[in-house]
Amino acid sequence: MATNAARRAVIVSGARTPFLRAFTDYTRMDSIALAGAAVRGLLERTGGWSAAEPQGRVITALSGAQVQAIVWGGVVLPSAAPNIAREIALDLKLDAGCEGYTVTRACASGLQAITSAAAAIERGEYDIMIAGGSDSTSNAEVKLPQKLVHAGAPLALGKPKVKDYLSAAAQLAPFTDLLPTRPKIAERTTGEVMGESAEKMARIHGVTRVEQDEFAARSHRRAADAIDSGRFADEVLRVRTPEGLEIDRDGLVRADTSAAKLAELKPVFAAQGTVTAGNASPLTDGASAVLLMSEEKARELGYHPLAAFKSWSYVSVDPADQVLIGPAISMPRALDKAGMSLADVDLVDIHEAFAAQTLSVVRALGSTEWAKTRLDRDTAVGEIDIDKLNVHGGSVALGHPFGATGARMVTTMANELARTGKSTALLGICAAGGIGASAVLERV
């Protein structure tokens, strides 16, 4: 997709909950509750005085009634109400006509939601939309063995008779048939756990343990600096939990970590491996939301847009090969659609599922062999300047609520472009199923 400049969708604002380790202070907030907190905070922050405008021009405060549609991304969807987008509108009592739909594209779901909204605006369907994503690993539903479900179907869904109970009991003789299935983050088609995929990529691309730990430590330092300097003040909300706890700071960032400390951790996925709990993204709860408008509507209401999409690209690779290498294809394609080269980009933001995966993508982009065999081009895409890459840290430090990460990245990069006056940012996200997702943002 290369956007149509005749009617441009713009990013007006973004906001997110603090990201917290799963099974901690957000345990009683499911994905819908976290989504509602992010959207409510976004609406509360949108309006008032704009410091970016001369003489503090008054902006027309946006009411929830003006939001025409919501697109939301999620991975661990609640079975009782999987259309989170519509539940947000209902919970926040937005206009009854505010329609919504929920998308799932594994870890690219948040970006998918935002680009879907941008496309709808540019087609003229809506003028004001909210898009984003959320996930609560803490509230992932525990699945009963399918054998139990099949055996007990008449008990659960019909009008059971005595013979139904006897039949179900007869089929479930082993005690293990009654035990719930422990969820794991693995490819359905290959059975490969994501950490195993990262280990394989590290071997293929020659990424060492030392490089991974140095990368992870840098991610934490940069995220800590962003928090301390106030860089995240424009995006991180204050959230009140059901227990009354006030949270306004990301909970996973460790300012005092170092490569030396990380080197002490043991590998998790292979006895002689390189991937550890310290150089991988942790299980995380959180939500992130973005306000998009047609540029004409934003100007009419007095908003100064932050950024717009110049292009985006979604690709897939064989999961049996390198399931997390997709951004090494989607990023060049997004650049091609934008008529740009890597050298033209001011900022690069790559989702850090694992340090090994991010560094493998960086290696591939700098490889002539990769360019020839996978991109059908004669020269490498280019080397990424470390000073341009993940300038405020990434998922290793901040955490990774699966559906929220894409919206977090869009918000951070849009704010950074507006704040610094830089022109463009390139995003890259890997996702289960061999998906790669990328976008080029430009300052408005």
Considering only CA atoms, which of 77, 97, 31, 78 is closest in space to residue 289? 31
Considering only CA atoms, which of 22, 20, 19, 18 is closest in space to residue 137? 22
- CA terminus-to-terminus distance, the chain: 19
Considering only CA atoms, which of 400, 318, 320 is closest in space to residue 358? 400
C-alpha span between 51 and 254 (Å, rounded)? 32
Axis crossing angle, helix 327-338 with helix 355-365, rounded to the nearest 10: 50
Considering only CA atoms, which of 95, 88, 114 is closest in space to residue 31? 88
Give the other-Cβ count within 10 Å of 382's Cβ: 16
User: 98 catalytic, yes or no?
Assistant: no
C-alpha span between 107 and 429 (Å, rounded)? 7
User: 430 catalytic, yes or no?
Assistant: yes
Strands (E), 237-358: 239-240, 246-247, 284-294, 307-316, 347-350
By three-state DSSP, how is residue 263 classified?
coil
Name the catalytic one among 107, 220, 351, 392.
Answer: 107
C-alpha span between 44 and 38 (Å, rounded)? 10
Name the catalytic one among 220, 351, 392, 400.
Answer: 400
Which secondary-structure segment (H or E) carries 425? Answer: strand 424-431
- Check if the beta carbon of residue 113 is closer than 8 Å to that of residue 73: yes
C-alpha span between 351 and 406 (Å, rounded)? 8
DSSP single-letter state for residue 350: E
User: 351 catalytic, yes or no?
Assistant: no
- Check if the beta carbon of residue 287 is closer than 8 Å to that of residue 35: yes
C-alpha span between 280 and 354 (Å, rounded)? 4
Residues identified as active-site:
107, 400, 430
